[in-house]
Amino acid sequence: MHAITYTKFGPAAKVLKLRDMPTPNPAAGEVLVRLHRSGVNPSDVKARAGNRPGVTEPAFPVIIPHSDGAGMIEAAGKGVDPSRVGERVWIWNGQWQRPHGTAASHITLPADQAVPLPESVSFDTGATLGIPALTAAQTVFGSGPVTGQTLLVSGGGGSVGHLAIQLAIWGGAKVIATVGSGRSGDDARAAGASAVLDYASPDLATDILAANDGAEIDRAVECEFGPNIDLLAQVMKPLGTIAAYGSAADMTPTLPFGSLLFKAIKIDISLIYILPLAKRLERVAQIHTALTQRALTSRVHATYPLAETANAHEAVEAAGRHGAILLDCT
């Protein structure tokens, strides 16, 4: 099989190498998937660059990066229903705590991590479901239905935010989104946000409440917890929930505990890699239903050939993309 590998941390162009490797056979309980697309996520790029706190060298001698992908089952290991051979699937946690991910022509992995892909859903979309869509679904629905609620989605122009807006609207919520400059506002509006606000506004708290007719927010889907926690303390409703999935700009935030305490705000931090299987299956079912009802679409910014994975990583690192970065693994 063809695969992109790295053996040490560093810049994408220096450490990512295309190589031929033996195509693996699926072990008991596993499937072999011939990949059509691999999704390149910020977490994949950070892992390759060695930007994880306290991690000084790769966990395995040879790593094939990327957790997300989509393709077709080519072989089934012992204990797996042989009728799954030929099934279209999407993949989650391809390279989570494992050496070999989806930046390759093939991958073997536990059968549960190869999810049947609805016939109406493309491989491009399938390669965006593992991290972006599951994160969006968990941060929107992690505490239950959102019908009749108002959700604040930060980073509404980003991949997770864009999906979260659509899922929240599908779930019966009103959405207020914050965005940066450029096309992000148009994308958030197209996704269904009733109000789209500039996250850099000096009066953002006032803007948010005004967009909700003076009422406070039920649930926040938050991509930058640290920088935004003071704002959230101001605009959240008592007993509301902050569903946070990122805080890259401030990984050691100071919390306004008094403000949070006297509203009894819940802080729900999501790391989709370790979501319990029962919860994951709930989110998968919601995503599939929204997709088949045409209430959810994924944006693709660009697709690169497998041999140009370094360029794909650099595209993720650069500002200004609008949608997923994918690899063509065929």
Give the chain's domains with CATH numbers: 2-128+300-328 (3.90.180.10), 132-273 (3.90.180.10)
Burial (CB count within 10 angstroms: exposed 0-12, middle 13-18, buried 19+), residue 5: buried
Cα of first residue to Cα of last residue in the chain, in angstroms, is 11
Q: What whole-number distance in Å separates Cα of residue 18 and Cα of residue 105?
A: 11
DSSP state of 221: E
pLDDT, residue 52, reads: 83
Rounded average pLDDT over 153-170? 97
Quote the pLDDT of residue 276.
97
The angle formed by the CA atoms of residues 123, 291 and 190, to the nearest 5 degrees, is: 100
Reported as a pLDDT band with limits 50, 70 and 90, residue 305 is: very high
pTM tops 0.85: yes
> Average pLDDT of the chain?
97
Distance CA 103, CA 39 (A): 8
Which residues, including other chains, have CB under 8 Å from residue 219's CB and lie 6 or more apart? 140, 143, 146, 149, 150, 151, 152, 173, 240, 241, 242, 243
Helix, strand, coil tally for the chain in percent (to 5): 35, 30, 40
For residues 26 and 108, the answer to whether their CB atoms sit within 8 Å is yes
pLDDT for the residue numbered 320: 80
Q: Is the pLDDT of residue 183 over 80?
A: no
Average pLDDT over residues 203-210: 98
- Rounded CA-CA distance 220/110 in Å is 34
Give the tokens for residue 199.
């996250």
Examine the pLDDT at 33 and tell me if it is beyond 90: yes
Q: State pLDDT tens for residues 81-134.
A: 999 999 999 999 999 999 999 999 999 999 999 999 999 999 999 999 999 999
Residue 198's alpha-carbon distances to 35, 157, 195, in angstroms, are 39, 11, 10
